[in-house]
A = this chain, B = another copy of it.
Amino acid sequence: MTTLGDSFHVYDTTLRDGAQREGISYSVTDKLAVARLLDGLGVGFIEGGWPGALPKDTEFFARAAAGDLTLKHAQLVAFGATRKAGVRVDQDPQVRALLDSQAPVVTLVAKADRRHVERALRTDVAENRAMVRDTVRFLVDEGRRVFLDAEHFFDGFAFDPDTALRTLESAVEGGADVVVLCDTNGGQLPLGLAETVSDVVARTGFRVGIHCQDDTSCAVANTVAAVQAGATHVQCTANGYGERAGNADLFAVVGNLVTKLGLPVLPPESLAELTRVSHALAEIANIAPDTHQAYVGSSAFAHKAGLHASAIKVDPELYNHIDPDTVGNDMRVLVTEMAGRASLELKGREFGIDLARRPEALTSAVRRVKELEAGGWSFEAADASLELLLKDQLSELDSPPFALESYRVVLDHTHDGTIVSEATVKVHVAGERVIATAEGNGPVHALDAALRKALLPHLSWLDSVQLNDYKVRILNRPHRAAEHGTDAVTRVLVESTDGEREWTTVGVHGNIVEASWLALCDALAHKASRVTPSRA
């Protein structure tokens, strides 16, 4: 519990509204893992799904109730609709499913826009009010805490304020203790939304929550503006996952509320966990993390150093809006064509290399980086290759884990249309000469497979290393019209993982296969430098 207790709610709907994002499909096990991570962060409420409507959600609540989910901070919330028009609440199976879920809290969604009542529900405003009041009261009488999600509230309020406000009133009459104003189609902007929230709070005195979608790219801003206007309950999703453009990102909302508005909405120790939890949730959702996400993205505190590198070194707080450590993130300085001594020295510090005390090595490292960058290399996304380069300049590098004698890759598009890629490598490793051949989906895959086959018997740590991602950039030639496009220089980035860490390496060459080979070799050399220090 935060110092704010029940007076402010951080309400997460990653598992329900967030799961509407195109491409997300959680298993029940995934859902349990997501809930544990969110609970560890200290959110107040975790909306687990819509029991009765989606079988996986029904099962999630059943497993939670059976003891598969023990929550330390959060309360579990079941989401569902009010009773159907013309049906008795105790005979509506969907309402029954909400009770059966055994969740202590229920959030009911209701129409706050008269046009939706009439055109989508095909009923009238009076029956809509009765549906809200009956369903809330039924669940409250059964011992549940009930919140109301007032769908399309802002459009509805602009169109017909009376119907919108009376929807809220019906819920409170039934016993709901928070009415959540939803910008369901995401069309609001902060100044107007804040005005409406203030107006509703002033007119009704109800406890008001906020739920924003990101269709104007303002979901986070709208959520924060609503809090400034009097909302004390914010509905968010991890990383802003959600339908269409998504929802308000939990991490940015919390970051803003805590560091900008000084509201301790999470337990104090949780803030430094934001970056880790954001990435872990992306992993479960099987979505590559957004490197440029506010607060938690790997680039959120990355500076292309250039002219200001020396100033950043002296006064980082002049250039970052917060100390990245606060949210468990790191400041990074990108090495670019403007690289100078100051930025390389800073990078060295990130790697635990003190270049300030080795000015001659720093000079030669700067020269080497500039030469390579002029040839198309770029280290800004390839820290692992840069670390190897700096250690090499300091002669602190172990000899590489293997030596190449030669490789050959053969690609055949045969007369029957079959395409075969085959690679043979000849390498020297652990005192032996090894020859291995393997096939792959393409030339690089075949080469990687052959190299693994050759090395694995001698380098057991290789087993854990996998390629995670592979990027190719063709760099334009200086004189465009004079030559063929395929003469260009190719830059390859390889992201590797050993299951615990990820690292990126770079290779550049006129030949894409050789460029890939260089990046693959750096990837293995980086891992070797981590596993063999004792042998150095």
Contact = CB atoms under 8 A, between A and B. Distances in A.
Nearest to A499: B481
A413 B518 CA distance: 12
A316 to B, nearest CB: 11
Interface in A219-251: 220-222, 224-225, 228, 240, 243-246, 249
B404 A413 contact: yes
27 contacts: A20-B304, A22-B302, A22-B334, A22-B381, A53-B307, A119-B311, A119-B318, A120-B308, A189-B225, A190-B190, A191-B191, A191-B228, A216-B220, A216-B260, A217-B256, A218-B221, A243-B304, A244-B303, A245-B295, A246-B292, A410-B410, A411-B443, A441-B486, A442-B510, A448-B486, A468-B481, A470-B474
Nearest to A336: B25
Interface of A: 20-23, 25, 27, 29-30, 53-54, 113, 115-116, 119-120, 152, 184-187, 189-191, 194, 214-218, 220-222, 224-225, 228, 240, 243-246, 249, 252, 255-256, 260-261, 283, 286, 288, 290-295, 297, 299-304, 307-308, 311, 314-315, 318-322, 334, 337-338, 378, 380-381, 404-415, 419, 421, 426, 440-445, 448, 466-476, 479-481, 484-488, 490, 494-495, 509-514, 517
A153 to B, nearest CB: 14
B252 A217 contact: yes
The 9 closest A-B pairs by CB, nearest first: A187-B321, A221-B221, A467-B485, A445-B486, A217-B252, A120-B311, A27-B476, A217-B294, A470-B485
Contact of A484 (B25, B301, B448, B486): B448
Nearest to A251: B217
A194 B221 CA distance: 12
A30 B509 CA distance: 21
Contacts of A468: 480-481, 485
A415 B403 CA distance: 11
B441 A470 contact: no
Given A27-B475, A53-B338, A191-B228, 8 more contacts: A25-B473, A187-B321, A187-B322, A218-B218, A246-B292, A442-B512, A445-B487, A485-B495
Contacts of A441: 486-487, 510-511
B53 A511 contact: no
Nearest to A479: B286
B444 A221 contact: no
A186 B521 CA distance: 39
A473 B412 contact: no
Contacts of A322: 187
Nearest to A404: B413
B119 A473 contact: no
Contacts of A295: 215, 217, 245
B419 A413 contact: no
B476 A30 contact: yes
B466 A484 contact: yes
Given A190-B221, A304-B22, A286 B480 contact: yes
Contact of A225 (B120, B191, B495): B191
A119 B490 CA distance: 41
B217 A318 contact: no
A102 to B, nearest CB: 22
Nearest to A425: B413
A54 B245 contact: no
Contact of A245 (B190, B224, B294, B511): B294
Given A216-B294, A217-B221, A334-B22, A245 B300 contact: yes
Contacts of A445: 484, 486-487
B302 A244 contact: yes
Given A120-B308, A189-B256, A510-B442, A381 B23 contact: yes
Given A411-B408, A411-B443, A191 B190 contact: yes
Nearest to A381: B23
B185 A320 contact: yes
B244 A286 contact: no
Given A54-B338, A302-B22, A480-B286, A216 B252 contact: yes
